[in-house]
Amino acid sequence: MRFLLLMLSFCLTLPAQAEGFISRLLHKPVPGGVAVVDLGQAASAPSASYQGKPLLVIHEDGQRWIAIVGLPLSTAPGLQQVEVNGQQPLSFQVGSRQYAEQRITIKNQQQVNPNAANLERIERELAEQTRAYRQFSARQPSNLLFDKPVNGPLSSPFGLRRFFNGEERNPHSGLDFAANRGTPIKAPAAGRVILIGDYFFNGKTVFVDHGQGLISMFCHLSEIGVQVGDELPRGGVLGKVGATGRATGPHLHWNLSLNDARIDPAIFIGAFKP
């Protein structure tokens, strides 16, 4: 009897997030990860937000609504809250995760300590890209189990503490794929091109909006094959691998942002490692 009571107690404390396929795939509630929060049943989609930013909300398995929350790398472990329809907040738990270090040698010193003119350019480009990350369209993502954008091994994981020429800079905000120059880059899910550019750090870059604040950024391209406003199907080619911007060799850097939080893309391709 004691064993049965313990098992019942254990089951009652299991998170509701573990029920459906999308929840099992995405619920990695750590800094730089994703939390799936059960919003319950309702006739229409609830409105949810986290830290003042709207959230991706979907109807999972035709039974309940869930909010999919992107957690910035700066998120402190512990209780966090989601606002739902302006009512009592829902709490969820965030765990901890340790990230390794990466040390890189850059020959171009301007890409480590830019001069005033380059700093002005960098700030202007950062503002433009930040606006793209903060877009929130009404469209539902076509899928949440993404394809890899290129067929190549991962060369640098998400979240690395990066040191350029011995000086610490921002953590690695995406995944790097090793691939030859000219390798086609494919959209991991359907979406609309919302920004293209040739930036100081990122080189030739494409932003794709997959819907409801879920946005991909692909950079260091050798060629851009799309224009702003283009609708890309899943698998549609958007450009080619290169080494433009701050890059030591040809590779693809893929950022994934959700509610304006840069998160680990490995979660969405089933390759997350705690």
Each residue's pLDDT tens digit, 57-93: 999 988 899 999 999 999 999 999 999 998 889 999 9
Average pLDDT, the chain: 87
pLDDT for 112 equals 60
Residue 150 and residue 241 in contact, taking contact as beta carbons nearer than 8 Å: yes
Each residue's pLDDT tens digit, 207-244: 999 999 999 999 999 999 999 999 999 999 999 999 99
User: To which CATH superfamily is domain 101-269 assigned?
Assistant: Glucose Permease (Domain IIA) (2.70.70.10)
Three-state secondary-structure class, residue 255: strand
Residue 238 and residue 186 in contact, taking contact as beta carbons nearer than 8 Å: yes
pLDDT over 60 at 140, yes or no: yes
pLDDT over 50 at 5, yes or no: no
pLDDT for 114 equals 73
Domain limits, CATH 2.70.70.10, in the chain = 101-269
Q: What is the pLDDT confidence band of residue 14, given thresholds at 50, 70 and 90?
A: very low
In the chain, pLDDT over 70 holds for what percent of residues? 84
User: To which CATH superfamily is domain 2-94 assigned?
Assistant: Peptidoglycan hydrolase domains (2.60.40.1590)
Residue 141 and residue 22 in contact, taking contact as beta carbons nearer than 8 Å: no
pLDDT over 70 at 111, yes or no: no
- Alpha helices in 91-169, H assignment, sequence order: 116-133
pLDDT for 66 equals 97
What's the burial of 163, exposed, middle or buried (CB within 10 Å: 0-12/13-18/19+)?
A: middle
pLDDT over 70 at 16, yes or no: no
Domain limits, CATH 2.60.40.1590, in the chain = 2-94
- Phi first, then psi, for residue 114 (nearest 5°) are -65, 150
pLDDT over 80 at 3, yes or no: no
